[in-house]
Amino acid sequence: MFGKKIHLFTLFGFSVGIDFTWFLLAILVAWSLAVYFFPVYYQGYATGIYWAMGVAGAVGLFFSIVFHEFCHSLVARRFGLPMQGITLFIFGGVAEMGDEPANAKTEFLMAIAGPLSSAVLGGILVGIAHAGIVAHWPMSVWGVLQYLGWLNFLLAVFNLIPAFPLDGGRVFRSILWAATGRLRWSTRIAAAFGSGFGILLILLGLATFLLGGFVTGIWYFLIGLFVRSAARMSYRQVLIRQALGGEPIMRFMQPNPVVVPPSISVHELVDNYFYQYHHRMFPVASDGTLVGCVTTKQVRDLSREQWDRYTVQDVLAPCSAENAIGSHTDAMQALSIMNRTGNSRLLVVDGDHLAGIVTLKDLLKFLDLKIDLEGK
């Protein structure tokens, strides 16, 4: 889902990071608060104070989103869902789950935790701001707290809209799921609401832009595109999970893959394997025993003059969880590894024996056929 991101800290075992697009959001929030919002509602300060308030508001937004996603993650972990961390990006934040909820109750509790946490945090911040007014704190201090309090209320309300994959959409799906027992149908209905809401935001953005609200219109438009795309992608993910879930990877693997001997030169490897078979990774085996794998990355680290001096044994890398799986591994788990690592081929191993190779192409062919046969 994300490109390169920066790890910030780990909170109770959850990794918190920022996608590079978040910096654009932070700059825009700080700028809009310092130039437009705070000077209108809290008058009488110098420009520098307004910029300090704007930066504080952007930082407060950061912690508000982290708190929201952290509460999702805590509930998810309580019900045994693997969490890959919390990432902030241009449209807010997301708690990255390694799997989908097992039942409607888990989905409901995990989804509702976010809006409830934002509402509670909003009430606390508004209460502190009111105490600051009574205690005669500087308006620049309680003004920021008041803004963040009402912003959290707004986040709670927005996330309760029944448009999948927003929290409200997940709550809506969990209710349909509990009532019918049909996850795929429930997801399709909730995702349709999400797609419709995305179209509504796109139209609202265009109208706002034409009426002169250029920045606001662009944001509505971009958020609408994101919600609509996320809704459609979420439904596809459910189809994929239902099609591949429970299928052992041995069903898809190629049992007699091309194997590279460790004794040949890197030059022979390039000419007779990479250029002939067009794969970026090959298993390396000796006398039937898997000794590692070799990829284009290892070759790129050498100059062409070194290709004749080095053998595959000199450059091979050991097998790891990034490129090798057991033959009884669930196909959905294999697809998840491919998605996380960017590897389109995985070795299938039994101990030190190479059982075969599975490719992304093999999984997608089966997925396409199963959905075509069982689409209804």
Count of other CB atoms within 10 angstroms of residue 275 = 9
What pLDDT score does 128 carry? 96
Q: Which CATH class is domain 249-374?
A: alpha beta
What pLDDT score does 354 carry? 86
What pLDDT score does 108 carry? 94
Nearest to 115 by CA among 65, 169, 165, 68: 68
CA distance 338 to 249: 13
Beta bridge partners of 201: none
Cis, bond preceding 162 (omega within 30 deg of 0): no
Please give the torsion angle defined by the CA atoms of residues 167, 170, 171 and 172, in that order, rounded to the nearest 10 degrees: 120
**Mean pLDDT, the chain, whole residue set:** 86
Cβ–Cβ under 8 Å, residues 343 and 264: no
Beta bridge partners of 293: 283, 317
Q: Domain extents for the chain?
A: 5-244, 249-374
> Residue 178 pLDDT > 90, yes or no?
yes
User: Radius of gyration over alpha carbons of the chain, in Å?
Assistant: 26
> Residue 3 pLDDT > 60, yes or no?
no
Q: Which residues of 14-41 are buried (b: 16+ CB within 10 A; e: fewer)?
A: bbbbbbeebeebbeebbebbbeebbbee
CA distance 231 to 164: 6
> Residue 98 pLDDT > 80, yes or no?
no
> Residue 241 pLDDT > 80, yes or no?
no
- pTM, to two decimals: 0.74
pLDDT tens digits along 129-161: 999 999 999 999 999 999 999 999 999 999 999
What pLDDT score does 145 carry? 95
